[in-house]
A and B are shown apart, each in its own frame.
Chain A
């Protein structure tokens, strides 16, 4: 207590103060605050500040400019209704699939579960190109329809409907995963109580099960929605040709002119849309009440016997999976191998010329190299920084670290276009430091901002699972703080860091939304090249480049699946002990 410290101790007190300031936690926090300040807070501040500035004066002129031009106004409206419709469709697909897999006696459940989340591994841009090749004017499905009915098909892929459909089949796994998870963890005694009261299985689904998983459905819907308003690749490939713009594509256009203030103001609008929807979903979720019925125990759920319908349900499921998951990839592969799209599938029409063209193009080669540099660099930096932030927050309980963690997670809720705009504002003519615009560094900075939350999420949750006493035991065993971190904390944190690293690598490797706004000649990425090739009509080359990256993505994706399975099994084993 300070009041007990008498004058003779004053020297030791100032020493103690010095030591307090030089405490490793404090020093670490300062450095991390600096890092987060430069990479996240400063760019964000730029967006909001610049959007309110016209010729050095405070003004709302940028916003009125956004709203006065109907085309911008339309972009905002289009973003909203397209995302809502796509989310609705994703909820239907995801929830139905989850119920069939979890609550019926359909066979092949393990395989179905893997296939149903496969769209997560396929970049949205690839899906968009694949769907053009399937349902576009000369697409496979279009041709089949013509041959069958002798008339043009009733759909047009270059339309809002096309965008909604492709967004939905890209994003439904969000809903599937959350709902299937909730169904698997639900306390079956609630359903059994209804069954013993003489209620039939279908009625139980409607009256008991569905209301109980509603929070999970809403949670999945929220993720699908945010992902929809964030998406650039799909509305760019399917919408721009039909002059149908959403906010992300409108921002892209504004930057090619370039009209920086307009792009900035629209970015802020996009943020507001995201925030409003987040709040709305939260309230919707809250008003339903949080049911404390989804516990961690494994159970034997209320299963509907399909009876004679069983093979039919399975067939419909597989057919759907083939159409919405496998066919786009197949179309992509076929495109990359055919001399031209629409050619007969005979031997002389198969060629590797698109691959040769891509690999001979120095820009595309540079894009591959750049992505191979950027993705691991961003993943490594993020994982190290977020491990330090999470450690200070969860383990050292350093005051301020929780706030820092929260601030660094904010960009997770921000659409990629906003991050791209903020990068240009912050680093094309920065208030301090070097100009990063025109170099790879700006892409690295953008990826760090965009994926910081992934790293924090995985390291934070891993650290929370490491009981404090494990570190304390090392400490009381004679190990110093630093030695404890080296010998105990880091080895136990490693799986979480690895999982986070792979997730960030996959995401950054084929990133498009941010990259397409901030790339420059010499600093292109794979995603940018695929988009540019597709956009300028070289669909074969775009497909070839996409197919080249697919194995990398798929292998890493399977690796993460394997990691999470391993982790789950280890947890089960730990929980399976009689007294743990």
Chain B
């Protein structure tokens, strides 16, 4: 596959703050690539640098085989000279133009003849299921429809690359779900490579071919959704993608790719887990577990072999699952079980771990320690 977009060592500073720190990545044709991270992590600045709305201080950007930005030679094509379509978080549908004029504007600017514009805009409107709405003004449309117009406007010129800046964050939950599927469908239909920026990990995991996780300007990991979820490259990725609870544990010994640990209130539980991240050789460590990797067994007796003793503190019914907050020793563990497994608050349970990450103990417990 040939790369449609390549960032090479992109760095952008605002005074003392480094918003984007030496970021390199490449996006292939047909690829849906998401940049994800907390607000202020530099993902939007990266996107805006790709669009040409910001100028980085270092690095280079290649787009569709052309250098559009290179700090070393001071080459910096303005946005209107880059083969892109962009969708903004705030829709940015022009209020003084009707829907037809909004979508047709990029074509008009490029000097296409009137009937060619008309045909293309109608095709885009049909694709977005808004065939009849061309004459409406933006103020007469719902938020979801406006977002669709913004998408249509970005697609109209059939760009080499589509840039999306948190396009769904202003929509309500239901609409967001359906727009998510629609966006994915449009991408499959057009084969357009997409650079997508979001802080919503569900969105990124559900739609992307690959994900880049950013924090404080640094790109921590690039991988498929399963890779970043199951094999986080850094502690930040482990924390940010999905949910984890931390428990203290002791590493007994390490053999090849696996490690044997002891955990639980009195060290009564044992487990053998894969080596991940910064798993120490021996001694105190932290066990990070995802809610769906914890197993609960109702127990009225004493400890069962290999499992830890715990107490259900809070439970919440989610419809398709139960979420329990289980107290193990001084820590709270979040657990997600099948909706069939109903346990009472206050009841004693035996806690087992199917999968988990054994990481060094430094400052991980604070998240789960109970202060009661």
Interface, chain A (partner B; CB < 8 A):
1, 4-5, 9, 12-13, 16, 467, 469-470, 472-481, 483, 487-488, 491-492, 570, 573-574, 577-580
Chain A residues near B43 (CB-CB < 8 A):
none
Q: Chain B residue with minimal CB distance to A15?
A: B74
B79's partner among A476, A491, A492 (CB-CB below 8 A) is A476
B142 close to A476 (CB less than 8 A): no
B172 close to A476 (CB less than 8 A): no
Chain B residues near A483 (CB-CB < 8 A):
109
A467's partner among B52, B90, B142, B150 (CB-CB below 8 A) is B90
B85 contacts the other chain (CB 8 A): yes
A12 to B88, CA, bound (A): 34
* Chain A contact residues: helix, strand, loop or mixed: helix
A214 to B230, CA, bound (A): 60
B306 contacts the other chain (CB 8 A): no
B171 contacts the other chain (CB 8 A): yes
A472 close to B110 (CB less than 8 A): no
B139's partner among A9, A470, A479, A573 (CB-CB below 8 A) is A573
B134-158 interface bits toward A, Cβ cutoff 8 Å, 1 = contact, 0 = none: 0000010011000000100110010
Interface segment, one of B92-100, B117-125, B260-268, B363-371: B92-100
Chain B residues near A480 (CB-CB < 8 A):
78, 80
Q: Chain B residue with minimal CB distance to A490?
A: B96
A476 to B155, CA, bound (A): 12
With A1-B58, A470-B94, A491-B96 as known contacts, state yes or no: A12 contacts B74, CB within 8 Å: yes
A468 to B331, CA, bound (A): 47
B88 close to A473 (CB less than 8 A): yes
B294-328 interface bits toward A, Cβ cutoff 8 Å, 1 = contact, 0 = none: 00000000000000000000000000000000000
A478 to B157, CA, bound (A): 9
Chain A residues near B153 (CB-CB < 8 A):
473, 477
With A472-B92, A478-B110, A480-B80 as known contacts, state yes or no: A579 contacts B171, CB within 8 Å: yes
Q: A473-B94, A473-B150, A480-B78 are in contact. List 19 more A-B contacts (CB 8 A).
A: A5-B72, A16-B74, A472-B51, A472-B88, A473-B88, A474-B105, A476-B52, A476-B85, A476-B154, A477-B80, A477-B153, A478-B110, A480-B80, A481-B78, A488-B94, A573-B139, A579-B142, A580-B143, A580-B170
A574 close to B72 (CB less than 8 A): no
B109's partner among A467, A472, A477 (CB-CB below 8 A) is A477
Q: What 6 A-B pairs come out closest when comparing CB atoms?
A: A579-B143, A469-B92, A477-B106, A473-B92, A476-B86, A469-B88
A9 close to B58 (CB less than 8 A): no
B163 contacts the other chain (CB 8 A): yes
Chain B residues near A477 (CB-CB < 8 A):
80, 85, 105-106, 109, 153-154, 157
With A1-B57, A16-B74, A473-B150 as known contacts, state yes or no: A574 contacts B139, CB within 8 Å: yes
Chain B residues near A579 (CB-CB < 8 A):
142-143, 170-172
> B11 to nearest A CB, angstroms?
9
A476 close to B51 (CB less than 8 A): yes
B106-118 interface bits toward A, Cβ cutoff 8 Å, 1 = contact, 0 = none: 1001100000000
A580 to B171, CA, bound (A): 9
Task: State the interface size on chain B (CB cutoff 8 A).
Answer: 39
Chain B residues near A469 (CB-CB < 8 A):
88-90, 92
B71 contacts the other chain (CB 8 A): yes
B44-69 interface bits toward A, Cβ cutoff 8 Å, 1 = contact, 0 = none: 00000001110001100000000000
A492 close to B95 (CB less than 8 A): yes
A467 to B52, CA, bound (A): 18
B143 close to A476 (CB less than 8 A): no
> B287 to nearest A CB, angstroms?
42
B74-86 interface bits toward A, Cβ cutoff 8 Å, 1 = contact, 0 = none: 1000111010111
Chain A residues near B90 (CB-CB < 8 A):
467, 469
> B141 to nearest A CB, angstroms?
9
A470 close to B71 (CB less than 8 A): no
A570 to B138, CA, bound (A): 12
B73 contacts the other chain (CB 8 A): yes
With A1-B58, A480-B80 as known contacts, state yes or no: A472 contacts B106, CB within 8 Å: no
B73 close to A9 (CB less than 8 A): yes
With A12-B73, A476-B79, A479-B80 as known contacts, state yes or no: A578 contacts B92, CB within 8 Å: no
A470 close to B157 (CB less than 8 A): no
A400 to B80, CA, bound (A): 27
7 contacts between A and B (CB under 8 A): A5-B72, A469-B88, A472-B88, A476-B79, A476-B154, A477-B157, A488-B94
Chain B residues near A570 (CB-CB < 8 A):
139
> A49 to nearest B CB, angstroms?
39
Q: Chain A residue with minimal CB distance to B71?
A: A1
> A5 to nearest B CB, angstroms?
8
Chain B residues near A487 (CB-CB < 8 A):
105
> A494 to nearest B CB, angstroms?
9
A9 to B73, CA, bound (A): 7
Chain A residues near B57 (CB-CB < 8 A):
1
Q: Chain B residue with minimal CB distance to A570?
A: B139
> B159 to nearest A CB, angstroms?
9
> A220 to nearest B CB, angstroms?
33
Chain A residues near B106 (CB-CB < 8 A):
477-478
Chain A residues near B71 (CB-CB < 8 A):
1, 4
> B363 to nearest A CB, angstroms?
35
A476 to B57, CA, bound (A): 21
Chain B residues near A573 (CB-CB < 8 A):
139
A470 to B88, CA, bound (A): 9
Chain A residues near B170 (CB-CB < 8 A):
579-580
With A13-B74, A473-B153 as known contacts, state yes or no: A492 contacts B88, CB within 8 Å: no
> B270 to nearest A CB, angstroms?
51
Chain A residues near B139 (CB-CB < 8 A):
570, 573-574, 577
Q: Chain B residue with minimal CB distance to A577?
A: B143
> B105 to nearest A CB, angstroms?
6
> A397 to nearest B CB, angstroms?
12
B72 close to A472 (CB less than 8 A): no
A474 to B89, CA, bound (A): 15
- Residue among B93, B96, B110, B143 with max Cβ neighbours from chain A (10 Å): B96
A578 to B141, CA, bound (A): 11
A475 to B86, CA, bound (A): 10
Chain B residues near A470 (CB-CB < 8 A):
92, 94
Q: Chain B residue with minimal CB distance to A480?
A: B80
> B368 to nearest A CB, angstroms?
36
Chain B residues near A478 (CB-CB < 8 A):
80, 106, 109-110, 157
B73 close to A472 (CB less than 8 A): no
With A1-B57, A478-B157, A479-B80 as known contacts, state yes or no: A578 contacts B142, CB within 8 Å: yes
A477 to B157, CA, bound (A): 8
B74 close to A9 (CB less than 8 A): yes
A472's partner among B74, B79, B95, B154 (CB-CB below 8 A) is B79
Q: Chain A residue with minimal CB distance to B90?
A: A469
Chain B residues near A481 (CB-CB < 8 A):
78
B150 close to A472 (CB less than 8 A): no
A467 close to B80 (CB less than 8 A): no
B109 close to A479 (CB less than 8 A): yes
Chain B residues near A491 (CB-CB < 8 A):
96
Q: Chain B residue with minimal CB distance to A1?
A: B57
A473 to B80, CA, bound (A): 10
Chain B residues near A472 (CB-CB < 8 A):
51, 53, 79, 86, 88, 92
A548 to B211, CA, bound (A): 73
A9 to B70, CA, bound (A): 13
Q: Chain A residue with minimal CB distance to B163?
A: A476
Chain B residues near A479 (CB-CB < 8 A):
80, 105, 109
B80's partner among A12, A476, A580 (CB-CB below 8 A) is A476
> B330 to nearest A CB, angstroms?
41
Chain B residues near A5 (CB-CB < 8 A):
72, 74
A16 to B75, CA, bound (A): 10
A580 to B170, CA, bound (A): 7
> A333 to nearest B CB, angstroms?
42
Q: Chain B residue with minimal CB distance to A466?
A: B95
